[in-house]
Amino acid sequence: MTRTSAESSVEIATDPETAFRIFTEEINLWWVRGPINHYDASRLAELRLEPGVGGRMLEIYDEASGDQLETARITTWQPGVLLVMRDSVQDTETEVRFEPAGGGTRVSVAQRLVLGGDPTGLGFGWVSMLPTFRAWTLRRDTAPREPRETGRLGIALYYKNPGTAARWLRSAFGLGSWDVDRVPEEGDGPGWIDLHIGDSLLILLPLRGERPPGGPVTHGVWVHVDDLEAHFARAKESGAVIISEIARHGSRKYVAEDPEGHRWTFVQARPTMR
């Protein structure tokens, strides 16, 4: 059966009017930049949402030349209550509601397929990015007013079930995401998951076919951590296979293996590392 809608919601500790203002005015700050988070991620300079009915959602590539892409247009603008947009690229309409909840605000996004539309991009954008909005509200009082960029080096690892792998990596190795809630819950198995280590991007992707049993280890991931002993104890307690215990060869480090055979080297970070 073809899916015709996608929904998501978060709760934040601010009033609906403020939540609406942050959502619309600071979108260039909370929408995390990544390989698939924009229509033309390789050229993006700024993300902008113009206020009011008729306002446009724009990916700006070159302000001076006017090189930009309209990705949506606002059809309903009720500050602190409701925002509705008709996608200009895909066959969808997105509704964002702001409702009082427990002293804060519940922000709910519902993306619906236009009758007869192509469902390929359903869930892309507003629904998948909502957790990054919550993450921004938690840190915006102390964060710099500039977009958070990933580093130039990213690593992709392939797993039979990326969702299960993400939960294990969070539990055993303490890996997570800038988005706070981006690691999927049990039963949710998206095909692409972004995790972050500092400003580096770790992409979990579904394994196509079967991994050969007993096959050689072809690559590993190195991660610098602040407290190597505490990290080692956590990994060991969580059931990670320890390939080599903490030792020093230049840096102090240990090597562990995750449930699907990827090897991870954890290194004591220098005091000067951010």
**In a domain? residue 224:** yes
pLDDT of 180 > 80? The answer is no
Q: Could you tell me the residue range of the domain that residue 239 belongs to?
A: 154-268
Total structural domains within the chain: 2
Q: Is the pLDDT of residue 18 over 90?
A: yes
pLDDT band at 120 (very low <50, low <70, confident <90, very high): low
Is the predicted pLDDT of residue 117 greater than 70, yes or no? no
Nearest to 223 by CA among 269, 190, 181: 269
pLDDT in tens, 157-177: 999 888 889 889 989 999 888
Give me the CATH number covering residue 230: 3.10.180.10
Each residue's pLDDT tens digit, 224-250: 999 999 999 999 999 999 999 999 988
Average of per-residue pLDDT values in the chain: 88
User: Does the pLDDT at position 189 exceed 70?
Assistant: no
The least confident of 76-80, 99-103, 160-164, 239-243 is 160-164
Check whether residue 135 and residue 9 sit in a common domain.
yes
In terms of DSSP bridges, do strands 241-249 and 200-206 run parallel, antiparallel, or are they unpaired? unpaired
What is the number of residues in the chain?
274
pLDDT at position 149 is 83
Asked whether the beta carbons of 53 and 77 are under 8 A apart, the reply is yes
Q: Tell me, yes or no, whether 79 lies in a domain.
A: yes
Residue where the block lists tokens 């964060």: 143
